[in-house]
A and B are shown apart, each in its own frame.
Chain A
Amino acid sequence: MSDNTVELTDVSFSYAGAPARSRALDGVSLEIKRGEFVALMGRTGCGKTTLLLTLNGVIPKTIGGAFAGQVRVFGEDVAGRSVAQMSERVAFVFQDANDQLFCETAREEIAFGLRLRGASENEISKRVSESLGRVGLRGFEERDPFSLSQGQKQKLCLATAIASGAPLVALDEPIASLDYENAKHVYEILSALKRSGKTIVAVEHDAEFAAKHTDRVIVIEDGAIAEDGGASLLKSKRVERYGIKRLK
């Protein structure tokens, strides 16, 4: 049995309506092992988020376009499962917390996916309590998600991902709108998740956080993989070519 959580084989994708030669992903092949913490980096519009969205099948099932290649997650072809089915394997945290919060309380937000899977109320309560505790939001069960600060909303989205129990966590710029302290806390939570055995793939622009917390950095340029190495890659002068801040 493969040790890989994620396997992309020659994946290409163009958004519907995009110019003929414009490809958001261009022949991407990569493997991500179980338990790895991977940062996807590169310029805005290079294809990082597009790549991330192939992991749970949103691309190409929900966001249509010309798709080629194969994506396998935990050995299963993503094409053979619906996005809803993939939610058991892949927990997705979107860039803007406001785009994924839709319940009246933090408890309901976390319980939503669990109820759909038929979890008992006892199990739900246990997971709500555990996940909120892990993100530092203990006591926030009855709070209205829309009254929370941006940092708290992002942590609530993380709590939802944790509570789902999915072994692969995909995050799109998890600290994009956070101050340094909240960003640091989010990455500490992600590091703890990695230590507990989860595989994490995060689109990230901040080289310092990526260097400190991730095992591997994949640089995307024009829809293709330009660099793939350890976090020490971020100290190389090469990364400046791709719009990434080089670390000293």
Chain B
Amino acid sequence: MNDAEVNSMLKYFPAQSLLHSLDARAKIIALIALTALFVFLPLAYSALALPFALALWVTSRIPLRKILEQKFLLLVALAPFVFRLAYEKSFYVGALAGAFNACYALGIILLAELFVFTTRNADARRALLFFRVPKRVAFEFALALQALPLLQEKVLRVRIAQQSRGGRTRDSFALLNPVLHGIFLRARKLAIALESRGFDAERL
């Protein structure tokens, strides 16, 4: 992968911003607090999660195209919208409630992504250890964050391989088996590599 491809993935994005320089512990507390706040606010107010997240995004100097590149966010927005439309008796109420739910869901996800984009793995791990999260859990969390771009890369490679053999462009189910298999294989190989470098989960 070249630098451009790596920078397009869900991982730390280097930039000079207040969010980048903020302590990881403060960011974790803020993320939890904001999530809790938006959960308990009335629906209309919880929709403010999205404009709030977007405002933070702009200040973080992370390109907005990184949001547009994530097509799954459309699904995140549509799902509650469609659900509400089906659930509510009135179309107007359903559409409005669905829009608020969509804004809330998108906002929370963007806030979580901002944490990933502005926080180095090592800092996130240290912050979790500071909060007395068990070492093993903190390490697994950091590894899971590290795995996100690898998962993206795997999906891309499998899709290209399938398309080059005539597979349908939008067949997401066809991706499931090879991607899952790849994830488990990688996890196993990584476990062996970690052990070979002295990592002993039992001692953590």
Number of interface residues of A (CB under 8 A): 30
Check B197 against A108 for contact (C-beta < 8 Å).
no
A144 within 8 A of B: yes
Q: Total A-B pairs in contact (CB under 8 Å)? A: 77
Q: Which residue of B lies closest to A117 (CB)?
A: B198
In the complex, how many angstroms separate the beta carbon of A201 from the nearest chain B beta carbon? 14
A94 to B121, CA, bound (A): 24
Contact of B1 (CB < 8 Å), options: A63, A113, A147: A147
Contact of B189 (CB < 8 Å), options: A83, A88, A94: A94
Contact of B197 (CB < 8 Å), options: A62, A147, A164: A164
Given A102-B190, A147-B1, A147-B6: A83 in contact with B146 (beta carbons within 8 A): no
Contacts of A86 in B (CB 8 A): 196
In the complex, how many angstroms separate the beta carbon of A217 from the nearest chain B beta carbon? 25
In the complex, how many angstroms separate the beta carbon of A24 from the nearest chain B beta carbon? 16
State which residues 72-128 of A face B: CB under 8 Å.
82-88, 90, 92, 94, 96, 99-100, 102-104, 108, 112-113, 116-117
In the complex, how many angstroms separate the beta carbon of A70 from the nearest chain B beta carbon? 20
A209 within 8 A of B: no
A83 to B201, CA, bound (A): 11
Q: Which residue of A lies closest to B145 (CB)?
A: A104
Name B's interface SS. Answer: helix
State which residues 145-203 of B face A: CB under 8 Å.
146, 149-150, 186, 189-200, 203
Check B6 against A63 for contact (C-beta < 8 Å).
no
Check A144 against B6 for contact (C-beta < 8 Å).
yes
Contacts of B150 in A (CB 8 A): 146
A198 to B122, CA, bound (A): 32
Check B1 against A146 for contact (C-beta < 8 Å).
yes
A86 to B146, CA, bound (A): 26
Check B121 against A99 for contact (C-beta < 8 Å).
no
Contacts of A199 in B (CB 8 A): none
A100 to B150, CA, bound (A): 13
Contacts of B200 in A (CB 8 A): 82, 84-85, 116
B120 within 8 A of A: yes
Check A103 against B197 for contact (C-beta < 8 Å).
no
What are the 6 tightest A-B residue pairs by CB atom distance, in nearest-first order?
A: A100-B193, A84-B200, A87-B198, A99-B189, A113-B197, A92-B196
